[in-house]
Amino acid sequence: MTLTANSRHASARFCIRMLALGALFLAGPHTAIAVPVNGSYVEDPLRCDVQANQNIGHEIGETTAFPIDERIAVFVSAASSYVCVGDDGAPNDFVVQMTNLSPYAYTDLFFVADDGILIGNADGTVEDVFGAPSIFADAFRIDGTVTTTGVNDNLFNESGIVNEIFEPGETWRFFVTNVLFPANIPPILVFDSVGGFAGSSVGYPPSTASILGTQVVPEPSVALLLGLGFAALSQRRRPGA
């Protein structure tokens, strides 16, 4: 079927309108509103598994104060199993169940305790480079289903594809072992401190720990949509079109 010039122009105008609406949508209140963080994981070769030193740019949490693109639902229960270290005999082992409520996937996820809370199955420490420099809190990478590197196989269930990628709608379950809380903090795990983790967390209430990771899918780009719009305009104005 051959399109007339008017049909082609009408089609181009429709595409441009859709692209413009997309740009407005992303630029408006629905745009990705992630709270960036600057976390630095530092390996401790004497503890659990060996993980590469790395920077971490996202925090995900369970409160509605977190933006929707960094929101999870969390359920914490007592664990009858433990990983990496022996049971210390205290009722301080937990199963953390978290469900990704965001439209984004995450990888290289780390459990990070607040300052002063000790984790038996820690791999190393995490520092909030800007918020609390030189304060290092216990942390471990949440893994075990695929990238098993040793004895800290804490991730024992993924509801979706078993690939250690925290997909939208997916639920993970992992162990946190031998958690020691200061006397002034209730012995519970809560992930409610927006933009604050390790030494910069405001503490309990509302938080005793954080989940940090790397976003797999890049945040949508308004510039990309505008570029597509300009391309459509160029196509529309081509001689002989």
* Cis? peptide before 239, omega within 30° of 0: no
Look at residue 21 in the predicted model and tell me its pLDDT. Answer: 39
Look at residue 32 in the predicted model and tell me its pLDDT. Answer: 60
Q: Which of 121, 109, 138 is nearest to 83 (CA)?
A: 121
Angle (CA) 50-53-54 rounded to 5° is: 130
* Alpha-carbon dihedral sign for residues 198, 58, 173, 206: positive
Confidence check: pLDDT of 155 > 60:
yes
Q: Give the pLDDT confidence of 21-52 residue by residue, as tens digits.
A: 344 334 344 456 788 899 999 999 999 999 99
Count of CB atoms situated within 10 Å of the CB of 183: 4
Q: Give the pLDDT confidence of 184-210 residue by residue, as tens digits.
A: 999 999 999 999 999 999 889 999 999
